[in-house]
């Protein structure tokens, strides 16, 4: 009998049936090229292929707006070259029997100013060369980490421009739709995840610390209008590719990038009810605060407000993950650092083998060290 039987049970998720409920969380590893953000398949193909036994791989945050970088060397999904290399990775995962979604991101005010502002502005691309946000409020009390900065040293975030409602409707939303279509119909991904978390653009509209708009459909003045952009992006993507291969990720408590909301419980519950009719493949959430400043029970908030597939993430071990699935609190659990350090994480759960320890200092180094050098279990 399996030690963690609930984790190892199949799960119906959208149009797919997962082999197990051990999900690989989206993990930025900075392995794409810097100038054109093309996945480097010489390293990335093996990385994802080795983890294909996951019930679902959610591939790393991938840019929908050309060159709008928040990590310096993250991949994009807007050029033919990017799509071609992603397809090789997807094909390798599929050959191993795996399923893989792609996470779509717009960095918003968390973008790297030095790289974004040097882009040429034009009538054909009115969003280019501008740092964009719901309000002209920079990220304070946080700095761009040295490993994401072009200078190699910590830098301050820039002061963004406030997007107009028309720019949101006619610029931002279509970028996510095009990214989803490129991912699924051209690169062959099984689905996409909308990144509505961690202080990036959609999350910045979602929470009141960064959304100070006083009027309009995306105003920061009410819970419903703060939920509207996440809803509009998600619905538009569903309409384009099918709701049964679209997931959404949120982080209502996470304080990264200076994010906070005065009533995260009400905000979370309202969004859950608002997106329920979309019949998404899943809702994926960070259950706590990565910087340990805000407390709350996101698992309970979502469980009581959302009937679809629920994937929880953040600092789980196998025992707690299995227990929460057994108790009906969640349907699956996404693992991040454990998957970085253990390409055979599913097999280790099956046999209760010991785990490799991750090396956080190598997460964003852009080299092979700490990327493809973690060993599988040596029986």
Q: Which of 83, 62, 89, 75 is nearest to 34 (CA)?
A: 75
For helices 223-241 and 264-275, angle between their N-to-C axes, nearest 10 degrees = 30
110-124: average pLDDT: 91
CATH number of 11-362: 3.20.20.70
User: What's the pLDDT tens digit per position in 282-330?
Assistant: 999 999 999 988 999 999 999 999 999 999 999 999 999 999 999 999 9
- The pLDDT value given to residue 379: 62
The whole-number pLDDT of residue 36 equals 97
Over the chain, what HEC string results?
A: CCCCCCCCCCEEECCEEECCCEEECCCCCCCECCCCCCECHHHHHHHHHCCCCCCEEEEEEEECCCCCCCCCCCCECCCHHHHHHHHHHHHHHHHCCCCEEEEEECCHHHCCHHHHCCCCCCCCCCCCCCCEECCCCCCCCCEECHHHCCCCCCEECCCCEECCHHHHHHHHHHHHHHHHHHHHHHCCCCEEEEEECCCCHHHHHHCCCCCCCCCCCCCCCCHHHHHHHHHHHHHHHHHHHCHHHEEEEECCCCCHHHCCCCCHHHHHHHHHHHHHHHCCCEEEEECCCCCCCCCCCHHHHHHCCCCCCEEEECCCCHHHHHHHHHCCCCCEEEECHHHHHCCCHHHHHHHCCCCCCCCHHHCCCCCCCCCCCCCCCCC
- In this predicted structure, the answer to whether residue 128 has a pLDDT above a threshold of 90 is yes
> Residue 122: its pLDDT value, please?
83
Task: Please give the pLDDT value at position 262.
Answer: 96
* Predicted pLDDT of residue 130: 97
pLDDT of 1 higher than 60 = no
Q: What is the mean pLDDT of residues 261-275?
A: 98
114: pLDDT strictly greater than 80: yes
Mean pLDDT of 122-140: 95
200 included as an active-site residue: yes
Per-residue confidence at 152, pLDDT binned at 50, 70, 90? confident
The model's pTM is 0.98
Residue 120 pLDDT: 87
Q: Please state which of the ranges 92-96, 125-129, 273-277 shows the lowest mean pLDDT.
A: 125-129
Which of 32, 101, 40 is CA-nearest to residue 67?
Answer: 32
> What is the model's pLDDT at position 149?
87
Q: By mean pLDDT, which of 114-128, 186-200, 238-252, 330-344 is the weakest?
A: 114-128
pLDDT tens for 205-241 read 999 999 999 999 999 999 999 999 999 999 999 999 9
pLDDT recorded at residue 277: 99
Query: Residue 114 region, left (φ>0) first, then alpha (ψ -120 to 50), else beta?
Result: alpha
Name the band, by pLDDT with cuts 50, 70 and 90, for residue 37.
Answer: very high
d(CA 20, CA 12): 10
Under a CB-based contact definition with an 8 Å cutoff, are residues 37 and 67 in contact? yes
Instruction: Confirm if 33 and 43 have CB atoms less than 8 A apart.
Output: no
Q: Which two tokens stand for residue 339?
A: 């998957």
Q: Where are the domains of the chain?
A: 11-362
Handedness of CA 264, 288, 248, 84 (dihedral sign): positive
Mean pLDDT, range 36-58, rounded to an integer? 98
Residue 150 has pLDDT above 90, yes or no: no
For the cut 60, the answer to whether the pLDDT of residue 70 exceeds it is: yes
- If you average pLDDT over residues 255-283, what whole number do you get? 98
Averaged pLDDT of the chain: 97
The percent of residues in the chain predicted with pLDDT above 70, rounded, is: 99
- Could you say which of 48, 78, 157, 200 is catalytic? 200
């Amino acid at each position: 009998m399996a030690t963690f039987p609930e984790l190892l049970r199949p799960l119906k998720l959208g149009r797919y049936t997962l082999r197990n409920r051990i999900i690989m969380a989206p993990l930025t590893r900075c392995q794409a090229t810097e100038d054109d953000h093309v996945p480097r398949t010489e390293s990335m193909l093996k990385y994802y292929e080795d983890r294909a036994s996951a019930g679902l791989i959610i591939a790393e945050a991938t840019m929908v707006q050309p060159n709008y970088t928040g990590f310096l060397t993250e991949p994009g999904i807007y050029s033919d070259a990017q799509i071609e290399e992603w397809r090789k990775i997807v094909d390798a995962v599929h050959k191993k029997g795996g399923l893989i979604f792609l996470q779509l991101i717009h960095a918003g005010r968390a973008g790297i100013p030095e790289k974004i502002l040097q882009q040429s502005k034009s009538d054909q691309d009115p969003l280019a060369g501008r740092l964009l946000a719901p309000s002209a409020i920079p990220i304070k009390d946080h700095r761009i980490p040295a490993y994401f900065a072009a200078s190699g040293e910590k830098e301050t975030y820039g002061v963004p421009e406030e997007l107009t409602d028309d720019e949101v409707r006619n610029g931002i939303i279509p970028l996510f739709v095009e990214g989803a279509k490129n991912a699924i119909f051209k690169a062959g991904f099984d689905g996409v995840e909308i990144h509505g978390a961690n202080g990036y653009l959609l999350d910045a509209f979602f929470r009141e610390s960064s959304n100070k708009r006083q009027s309009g459909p995306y105003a920061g003045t009410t819970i419903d209008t703060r939920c509207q952009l996440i809803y509009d992006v998600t619905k538009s993507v569903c309409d384009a590719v099918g709701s049964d291969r679209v997931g959404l990720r949120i982080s209502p408590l996470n304080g990264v990038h200076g994010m906070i909301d005065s009533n995260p419980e009400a905000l979370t519950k309202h969004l859950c009810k608002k997106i329920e009719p979309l019949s998404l493949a899943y809702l994926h959430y960070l259950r706590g605060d990565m910087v340990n400043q805000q407390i709350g029970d996101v698992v309970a908030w979502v469980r009581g407000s959302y009937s679809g597939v629920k994937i929880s993430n953040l600092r789980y071990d196998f025992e707690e993950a299995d227990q929460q699935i057994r108790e009906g609190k969640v349907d699956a659990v996404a693992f991040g650092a454990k998957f970085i350090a253990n390409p055979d994480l599913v097999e280790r759960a099956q046999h209760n083998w010991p785990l490799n320890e991750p090396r956080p200092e190598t997460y964003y180094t852009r080299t092979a060290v700490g990327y493809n050098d973690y060993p599988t279990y040596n029986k």
